[in-house]
Amino acid sequence: MRSLALIALWTAGWVSPMLAQRSLDEAAAHARSAWLAHDAGGLANAGDSLSLRLPGVDEVTVGSGQATRLLNRYLQPASERGFDLRTVRSTGDEQGYAEAARRYVVRGTTDEVSETVFLGFRRLGGRWRLTEIRVTP
């Protein structure tokens, strides 16, 4: 019954899909989908703030609006080829992470680029929320 209520609220637009994730695996899968769709707002709106470490950007912790702008700028020139979740683990103390292998091509080129993306999650209010994104070559 609780699931039906969440689905009804989500369908009505009252609950963000990122906020409705009850398991870490679900939250990681939703973040993967948002990344592949270049839905920076869906990634950034999962919590009050997001810590980012992106190539060309100093490590910052910013609100969702600024995080959305930074992620849009980072993702915009890429055409995604894959975002494969390698690991999803709880680290205890209501925290967890996912490690993903990202493959993309910069628009206008043919060379595929590979990166490792770490997604940090924290369980807040009974739901897993994305709190950190770290990208490494």
Entry pTM: 0.82
pLDDT at 35: 98
Exposed, middle or buried: residue 91 (CB in 10 Å: 0-12, 13-18, 19+)?
exposed
Q: CB of 15 within 8 A of CB of 9?
A: yes
Kindly list the structural domains of the chain, giving each domain's residue range(s) and its CATH number in brackets, ordered by start. Answer: 18-136 (3.10.450.50)
Residue by residue, pLDDT tens for the chain (137 residues) are 434 333 443 433 444 444 445 899 999 999 999 999 999 999 998 667 999 999 988 899 999 999 999 999 999 999 999 999 999 999 988 999 999 999 999 999 999 999 999 999 999 888 999 999 999 98
Of 94, 101, 84, the closest CA to residue 120 belongs to 94
Work out whether the CA dihedral 74, 76, 81, 86 comes out positive or negative: positive
